[in-house]
Structure 1
Amino acid sequence: MMNLNSISLSETNVVTSSISHELNTPLNAIIGFTDLILEEESLEDIKSFAAIIKNNSSLLLDKIQKVIALNSLDYENDVFLEEVSVSVLLEKSQDIIAKEFGRNKRMFSINCNPTAEEQSITVFSDKPKLEKFLNHLLLSAFYLNKEGQVFLSFNIVYKDGVKEALQVLVSEEQLANFGEQKSSFEEDIDAAVSKLRFEDGIGINLAICHKISKKIGGHMYLKINSNNKVISFELPVGNLYGANSHQDTGIKVLVVEDEPVSCCALERVLADYPFMVIRTSAQGIIAGAAERLAKTDIVIINEEIKEMPVRNAIDRLIKKNPEVSFLIEESCFNRESDIFIRHNNFFYYCRYSAEAQIESALDRIMKYRDKETTNTYKQSLNAG
């Protein structure tokens, strides 16, 4: 059953209804004023109607482009993890707000005074996707309250004294200690949603936000009561793509490479497996990207790992998750290194190998993970 004080955007048709309304409103205006022009004799009125048609045509085009962008997200499956600090996100938000204020003169207050320690807190995320998320989140926020200010705050969520998540809130009214106020959001949700459906502009932006939030491992909710509307987003500091994530199930593969090898047969082979593929750079794995993931099943390394920081990162990951397996491009390692002698869960491939050879390497990894597997992994998939 849906929590009465929280609307998950995947559990209601609020977004779909709003998108339909957002498209139909300018379309109906275009059709209606076109009919009026055909009947009107006054040149002044014709010019006025033409201006309305032009404005609504621009609005409709903008909405259509956003719907296309929304649908294209279904095909953007790559996630590239890098370290992002709260201070960088705050700076990006200020840039977005300044541009929007210059465009429509709306007031937007940043209620955000993180401590020096909080500003230095980092999350691992796909930075371009996270910035796109912030952009559409803030555009949505402008429609929460058409008359007055809307508020943005960044918070760090703690659990048992441990940093659990970065929380981003946008709200119609200023909030303090939102975690303590959640129980107050218990008003008539259906009535609140019916109002929100016709807040022109919020539906498509929220739909884009929702899709991006799932792809980057976050959780997004809409919380409403009679006095306030709040869009809440939480991105785990650790345990990324863990419990409660829509991508919690399945095998997670972390590919470590600074520049993607587009011609490599490995990419074509990976597409045939039901893996969730996450990418990071050598610097990303050194900084702890693999350890921030809730689970890393396979690590594919396409960057040279002779340097001690990378080897230390591999050792840390093995200590955290002894079951992890490694598939290493053979030109990227030193066979004499003790790190390869100490572990038997290292497998190798050549980026210039044929697809069948790379499939064989992946099947060896899957057999290592499941000692009783007799068929190749792909054969077992096909067998159901």
Structure 2
Amino acid sequence: MIASNKKLLSAHQLYFLTVQSVSSVMIFAIPYLVNEHSKHNAWISAIITLIFFQLIGWVIFSLHKRLPDKNLFQMTEILTSKWIGKIMNWLYIIYFIGLATYTALYFTYLSKEWTLPVTPLFVVYLIFILMGLYIAKGTITTLARFSGITFLALTGFLLFSISFAIPKMHLLFLLPVGDVPVTKILNGSYHMGIGYAGLSSLLVLLPLLHDKLKTKKRVITFSILTISLIYLVLLVICLAHFGTYSLGLVPIPVLYLLKILTILSIFERMDLIIMCAWISPMLVSYVLYIFIAGIGISENTRFKNKKIIVLVITLIISLLCALFPEAQDNMIRLNNYLLPFTYVFMIGFPILLLAIAMIRKINQSHQNQAGD
């Protein structure tokens, strides 16, 4: 997988890869997480989050525009210094390994809660991690194609299935507007940020897209917009179906709603079909994070053996997973630990790097790439 960073992605491949890798992990739990803080005005939190992350998308694009041929791990050293850049790079490597570990833990949590309650945890971990190791031997182009298939087939099927809950929605559950204090609405938006945790991967993937800057900007904009609209639709449907009190009792509301739905008066238990197949989208996220961490390691060390790097990262993830033998009891705590770091690496560092680039007036876009 790491050896593939010379291969280029098309615009639609980068779009599908971004949307699928970012949204696949928390898609079932976002309504519960936001409702916990914003209650019946959770949909307002989702709209605020949509606008906020479009601004973050602008930051990512502006930073990439100034150094269009450089990925994140190269930007840090150019914009700061060799040693400060390496420190930031290793922090990002640890962060992406952490995201991959979290993805493996969350898949195990979902499986134990929904489809494999009596299967030993280590077996579920083993299935997921070994499949990830197998996929990681491929190329980023292959992963991008795979993400397009999983998005169109599984995410599309998920949205189609859950749309049958729309006739049973009670829109009064979304009212009154503004009844919840602004601080709680903003707190809901803050906690929704965990659903965008992998967005900083764009700073590594954008140089692989050999296209005009305008095209890259559209990819970023529509990727974030698609992710946000998926979350918003699922949140509104779940909130208007369950109400804020009942939604607060269901940690995985999207799957629970699919469980009680009957589609076309024939099909039931769509939750089992979707959950059994959802390993594919989560593997996209997991393998992408391994890919990015591997790029970081190869950029910051003399060690270039790609297969060994992937294997070492996988062993580290396996060890970290072993430290959480009861993952299903620790996911909320793990969310709270991961959330501040997500904002630092997804927002704080990119804004800092962009500010440095602007102050130092670094802009290579006119020299290296046309088409803004």
TM-score by length of 2: 0.27
Determine which structure has more spread, i.e. the larger CA radius of gyration.
1
The structure carrying a bigger helix percent of its residues is 2
Q: Relative contact order, CA 8 A, sep 6+: which one is greater?
A: 2
Counting strand residues as a fraction of each chain, which structure ranks higher? 1
